[in-house]
Structure 1
Amino acid sequence: MTVGLALHASGPGNQIDATVLLAREAAAAGLRSAWFGQTFGADSAQLAAIVGREVPDLEVGTSAIPVFGRHPLLVSSQAQTAQAATHGRYHLGLALGTKLLIEAGFGIPFERPIARLREFLTALRQLTETGTADFHGELLTATTPLPARVPGAEAGVPLLVAAMGPQALRASGELADGILPYLAGPRVLAEHIVPAVTAAAEAAGRPAPRIVAMVHGVVTDDVESARRTAVEQLAFYEQFPSYARVLELAGAARAGDVAVIGDEKTVAAEVRRYRDAGATEVVFSGTDLAGEADRRRTWTLLGELAG
């Protein structure tokens, strides 16, 4: 199992330069991968390409680009460019997105998300594997009157989905290479998520899927204060059905309740629980919950666990 970080540089300086510095520190600590979220700011695929180019010891990935407001041809171009720039170390994460952000941001209806995900994955797989597509779906069309291959990306691009609901897990098992569940604790992974996506992959004749568990947490002695901060930071997710479902399955009252917070022994034990639940990789975010000293302390532990 590999251990990585979700990196987000904040502050008034140049975000790209700051992210590269963080990534170098992560690699020096022994971490194996760096992942970048996609909002309305920096382009996550470009950021991954830059970091992967600058820090060759890290695998890099996006977690995750919404399929609404994008087209498979454009996402394929981004992903193949990142894959060529990093010489095969790029991993593309996709997401359904949320009705709130899609409709408010793009002004388009958030309709038939699972059908769109299926069509997007089907067309994107053709493009990233062959550089061509001839896909005509109900919601998307993707054809290649000109070649769509980026030389240097011939190995293809791993396709992962931020899936946690039953329908999204089924589609991901059938059409993707793995999933990126977030705020889904070990018991929820073991009892609900891993069996569903694995069964779908088996039924489709695909290899066992990667389970990249995205975990919010930090090593600290001030557990109570860090937990309060986590509750505040993660409250945003509680309004969305997919997160509300996994929190209910975990018996958690708030999203912050599933954050992994404690000393080195506690956090290491939780990482092992994720591994035992079926996670093939664990990626930590929120490591700045308790300040800079504890952030560095957390990275040191995670680097040891990665080793």
Structure 2
Amino acid sequence: MTTAHSVLIPFLPRRPEQVLPYAGLVHWTHAQRLWQGQSLMVEPHHGFVHAAGAGFRVPTGLGVTLMPLRHPYEAALQARSLALATGQPVVAGFGPGAPSLQRGLLGAPYRSPLTAAREYLTAVRGLLAGETVRMAGEYVSCDAALVPFPSPPVELGLGVLRPAMARLAGEVADVAITWLTPAAYLRDTVLPALREGAAKAGRPVPRLTAMVPLALSRTDRTPGEMALASNAVHLGLPHYIDMLRKSGIGITGTDRESDARALVEGRGFLSGDLGELVAQLKEYEDAGVDEIVLNVTGVAHLHGPQAATDELKTILAALA
């Protein structure tokens, strides 16, 4: 197996032209795909289409967009529209989001995020396959079909942190998308659950995509500072705290600076010189990851987008 390397836009774009340098990296290097997490500024679909209009028609990944923001019909329509606009494959990743978001947009949090994700991805898959989807589920109601039209492939991704969601991804997704997950945790916990779910459904094991936060060590940086700049919000979220503890990283959930240092020590955030980073990324390949997405969000937050672009160029060149 050859592990692919891809690029994450390391900030939330405020103008669509800010996407272009990162689309250019995918266009001009061996990077396979351009990824964007959920943004509440320039919406990811729009940023990617802007890049396509500027001449950077590259494969894209939505990792992940939040289910409460759009009905599955709209999700399927937007993903296919992105594939048509770019002329390239799309990985449309979805996740239920935090309970506070669910409550704010839907009136109440999902009683079962697993059931909500199963219904959502089942509806989107049927619509993209050209079916008339008739569903009256606990969370998804749909009696509709997309207007048929050929497009580049759209694969379905599911955001995965813990075993139950990984088993569900094995049943219903094409790609399992992880964030902040150490390589050993992917090898020992996530991949076995993916295989279990796929075996239950009698289907191939989904590909595993890992968003890996990292930064080169330099004299003007400390690893803990970079890890905190990259993941301060995640270190306070209960599902990330639980996952990191299950992976053997003893974070407190209250002392962010201490937790950031623990994240570095436990290989949830990668730091080192170029050779050390390449070796640490090899651990993800050895763990069975199909696609490593380079996430230099901490660099962008502390040193700006140009430094982040330069860092990605350096790391991609070493990985080529």
Distance 1:246 1:17 in 2: 35
Q: CA RMSD in A?
A: 2.4
- Contact map agreement 2:21 2:309 (CA 8 A) in 1: no
The answer for the alignment partner of 2:138 in structure 1 is 138
The residue type equivalent to 1:7 in the other structure is I
Tell me whether 1:122 sits opposite 2:97 in the alignment.
no
* Match status 1:7 vs 2:5: no
Mean CA deviation greater in 281-290 or 126-135: 281-290
Size of the aligned set, in residue pairs, is 301
The one-character-per-residue Cα deviations of 1:166-218 (angstroms, maximum 9, x if unpaired) are: 22112111011121110100110011011111221122111121110001112
Q: Deviation at 1:131?
A: 4.9
CA distance in structure 2 between the aligned counterparts of 1:8 and 1:49, rounded to whole angstroms: 18
Alignment partners' CA distance in 2, 1:115 and 1:81: 27
Alpha-carbon separation, structure 2, partners of 1:150 and 1:225: 53
- Listed as ranges, the gaps of 5+ residues in structure 2 are 252-258
**Secondary structure of 1:64's aligned partner:** strand
Secondary structure of 1:206 counterpart: coil
User: Residues 218 and 294 of structure 1 are in contact (CA less than 8 Å); yes or no, is this contact kept in structure 2?
Assistant: no
Q: Which residue of 2 aligns with 1:203?
A: 200
**Corresponding residue for 2:316?**
303
Distance 1:91 1:139, change over 3 A: same
Contact 1:36 1:47 in 2 (8 A): no
> Match for residue 303 of structure 2?
291
State the SS of the aligned residue for 1:229: helix
1:279 and 1:40 mapped to 2: Cα distance?
29
How far apart are the structure 1 equivalents of 2:63 and 2:77? 17
What does residue 149 of structure 1 align with?
147
- The answer for unaligned runs of 5 or more in structure 1 is none
- 1:191 paired with 2:188, answer yes
* d(CA) in 1 for partners of 2:18, 2:221: 30
The alpha carbon displacement at 1:56 in A equals: 4.6
C-alpha distance 288-51 of structure 1, shift in aligned 2 (>3 A): farther
Aligned counterparts of 1:237 and 1:295: Cα–Cα separation in 2: 20
Conservation of the 8 A alpha-carbon contact between 2:177 and 2:208? yes
Structure-1 separation of matches of 2:131 and 2:54? 26
CA contact (8 A) 1:84 1:150 kept: no
Q: Aligned-pair distance for 1:226? A: 4.1
Q: Which moved more, 1:293-302 or 1:38-47?
A: 293-302
Query: After the TM superposition, which residues 230-241 of structure 1 pair with which residues of structure 2 at under 5 Å, given as runs?
Result: 230-241=227-238
Structure 1 residue 82, shift from structure 2 partner: 0.6
- In structure 2, the residue matched to 1:275 is 285
Aligned partner of 1:214 in structure 2 is 211
**Quick one: distance in 2 between partners of 1:218 and 1:239?**
21
Change in Cα spacing, 1:136 to 1:223, as seen in structure 2 (3 Å) is farther
- CA–CA distance in structure 1, aligned partners of residues 194 and 101 of structure 2: 26
> Structure 1 residues 150 and 40 mapped into 2: Cα distance closer, same or farther (>3 Å)?
farther
Matches of 1:115 and 1:73, distance apart in 2: 18
Aligned residue number for residue 160 of structure 1: 157
Compute the TM-score of the two structures, normalised by the length of structure 1: 0.88
Distance, in Å, in 1 between the alignment partners of 2:239 and 2:31 is 29
Cα distance in 1 for residues equivalent to 2:190 and 2:226 = 27
The CA distance in 1 between the partners of 2:318 and 2:198, in whole Å, is: 29
Kept in 2: contact 1:217–1:284 (CA 8 A): yes
3-state SS in 2 of match to 1:41:
coil
1:73-103 CA-partner distances (Å, limit 9, x unpaired): 1101101101111223211010110012332
Q: TM-score scaled by structure 2?
A: 0.85
Structure 2 CA distance for aligned equivalents of residues 20 and 149 of structure 1: 31
* Cα separation, partners in 2 of 1:6 and 1:246, compared to 1, 3 Å: same
Describe the superposition over 1:244-281 as per-residue Cα deviations: whole angstroms up to 9, x where unpaired: 12211233222543211111111101111001111100
Q: Distance in 2 between matches of 1:221 and 1:194?
A: 34
- What is the Cα deviation at residue 53 of structure 1? 5.2
1:299–1:89 distance in 2 versus 1, CA, 3 Å? same
